[in-house]
Amino acid sequence: MESPSATPFARPVYIMTKPAGALCNLACKYCYYLEKSKLYTNNPRHVMSDELLERFTRDYIAMQTSPNVLFTWHGGETLMRPISFYKKALELQKKYAGGRNIDNSIQTNGTLITEEWARFFKENHFLVGVSIDGPQEFHDEYRKTRTGKPSFLQVMKGIQWLNRYGVEWNAMAVVNDFNGDYPLDFYHFFKEIGCHYIQFTPVVERYYRHPDGRMLASPIDGAVAELTDFSVSPEQWGKFLCTLFDEWVRNDVGEYFVQIFDSTLAGWMGVPPSLCSMGETCGHAGVMEFNGDVYACDHYVFPEFKLGNIYQDTLTNMMYSERQMRFGNNKRDLLTRQCRECDFLFACHGECPRNRFAQSRDGEDGQNYLCAGYYEYFQHVAPYMDFMKYQLQHEKAPANVMEWIRQDMPEYRK
């Protein structure tokens, strides 16, 4: 294992913030975050104070080693805070910028976006991530309000405002048991609504009853936790990716960007991918909750993965602690033998550790539950990735792959 103190500032560190904690106007069935409010039943209001906002802004900017700083606002539902909160955040960013270039990205369920929000995002160059699960019948299956009402039409209204004001936005779509068999309906829908940047995330959760009322398993809850019915199966996920890829690689390379395909190509090129789950290690993207608690990762907001609180320790100490370094390196150091010997380890890296609760084919614990799907996907895309890599290495556009396929994939010198 690498020494935690070796070149600790070699890579940028991100901390996403939860200005409204886990508060949300929706109650999507598969949400991994809603129940986090049970960690904070002693706090009467789950919103970040102005004082904490200032402390975070100052310390977060100060801890960065690069001239570019990215603030990532995440929920719960971020738009449950008023615009005035984000205006205050921008003022503080300006106050503490010290010559740095600051960007903001915000994740939202889209239902609360109004004309005023769209204007604000445009004027302040926010990149907006909208959670939307494809066409209405897929989206409304799980993404409902607290009273069980569908949310699709409200999200579409929000997207119309974003489009009308020319706000830069991308779609975050969750692939689950219900929609996982329909990749093309999904994909065509996003193209029809003019979305050029799409992220597909497989939902994998397990039930595990915690004494405080939380119902979803932590990664350390082991083999006793039972898979949720809404999780996508490995086979579904593999087929979903292969079918989607076939459509994209024939028609849309260079015009529509699907994050997992980009990250796969990055893996082929040997450069760090934008998708953390496909990186070799993790640990450089923490989370700060509304009260200043800092956790190892957005998917590790569990008491056992809390790094501390900004009122008791600095962000730098927490994010570069030995504990956090070990958390990040464990992704690489705890791979099963099956992964270590896998032909596609260079691109997959065993995917996200939170999904490593299955057994490898040699009976070793810690295999990724989605492995069979990923393996099928990597095998399927390999010839196309090889070709796109060759193009990039010769300073040509990866989009040439479309013509290569039309010509029946002729031999080329590797």
Shortest distance (Å) from residue 272 CB to ligand SF4: 12
Catalytic position from the list 140, 262, 298, 313: 298
Q: Does 338 bind ligand SF4 (CB under 6 A)?
A: yes
Task: For residue 13, give the amino acid letter.
Answer: V
Q: Residue 110, Cα to own-chain centre: how many angstroms?
A: 17
- Interacting span for ligand SF4 (CB under 6 A) from 4-12, 24-32, 345-353, 389-397: 345-353
- Residues 293-312 contacting ligand SF4, CB under 6 A: 297, 299-300
Q: Which is nearer to ligand SF4, 139 or 239 (CB)?
A: 239
Residue 298 a catalytic site member: yes
Q: Which is nearer to ligand SF4, 85 or 300 (CB)?
A: 300
Shortest distance (Å) from residue 374 CB to ligand SF4: 4
Shortest distance (Å) from residue 300 CB to ligand SF4: 6
Residue pair 119/165 in contact by the 8 Å Cβ criterion: yes
C-alpha radius of gyration, the chain, whole number = 21
Residue pair 350/22 in contact by the 8 Å Cβ criterion: no
- 10 Å CB burial of residue 376 (0-12, 13-18, 19+) is middle
Shortest distance (Å) from residue 258 CB to ligand SF4: 18
Q: Which is nearer to ligand SF4, 167 or 173 (CB)?
A: 173
Q: Which is nearer to ligand SF4, 142 or 369 (CB)?
A: 369
Shortest distance (Å) from residue 72 CB to ligand SF4: 13
Burial 291-307 (b: 16+ CB within 10 A, else e): bbbbbbbbbbbbeebbb
Residue number with the smallest Cβ distance to ligand SF4: 282
Nearest to 29 by CA among 131, 181, 148: 148
Shortest distance (Å) from residue 273 CB to ligand SF4: 10
Pairing of strands 68-73, 101-108: parallel
Q: How far apart are CA 107 and CA 169, in angstroms?
A: 10
DSSP 8-class letter at 47: S
Q: Which is nearer to ligand SF4, 80 or 287 (CB)?
A: 287
Q: Which is nearer to ligand SF4, 183 or 286 (CB)?
A: 286
Number of residues that bind ligand SF4 (CB under 6 A): 24
Q: Residue 293, Cα to own-chain centre: how many angstroms?
A: 20
- Determine how many CB atoms are found less than 10 A away from the CB of residue 45: 12
Residue pair 278/264 in contact by the 8 Å Cβ criterion: yes
Shortest distance (Å) from residue 5 CB to ligand SF4: 21
Q: Which is nearer to ligand SF4, 109 or 338 (CB)?
A: 338
- Residues 347-376 contacting ligand SF4, CB under 6 A: 348, 350-354, 368, 371, 374-375
Contacts of 410 (CB under 8 A, 6+ apart): 404
- Interacting span for ligand SF4 (CB under 6 A) from 180-188, 223-231, 260-268, 334-342: 334-342
The sign of the dihedral angle between the CA atoms of 322, 327, 329, 330 is positive
- Residues 248-287 contacting ligand SF4, CB under 6 A: 276-277, 282, 285
Task: For residue 388, give the amino acid letter.
Answer: M
Among 89, 195, 288, 342, interactor with ligand SF4 by CB under 6 A: 342
Q: Does 36 bind ligand SF4 (CB under 6 A)?
A: no
Nearest to 174 by CA among 221, 141, 215, 125: 141
Burial 74-93 (b: 16+ CB within 10 A, else e): bbbbbbbbeeebbebbbebb
Among 90, 193, 269, 345, interactor with ligand SF4 by CB under 6 A: 345
Residue pair 351/336 in contact by the 8 Å Cβ criterion: no
Shortest distance (Å) from residue 298 CB to ligand SF4: 7
Q: Does 77 bind ligand SF4 (CB under 6 A)?
A: no
Among 159, 339, 388, 402, interactor with ligand SF4 by CB under 6 A: 339
Binding site for ligand SF4 (CB under 6 A): 276-277, 282, 285, 297, 299-300, 331, 338-339, 342, 344-345, 348, 350-354, 368, 371, 374-375, 378
Catalytic machinery residues? 298
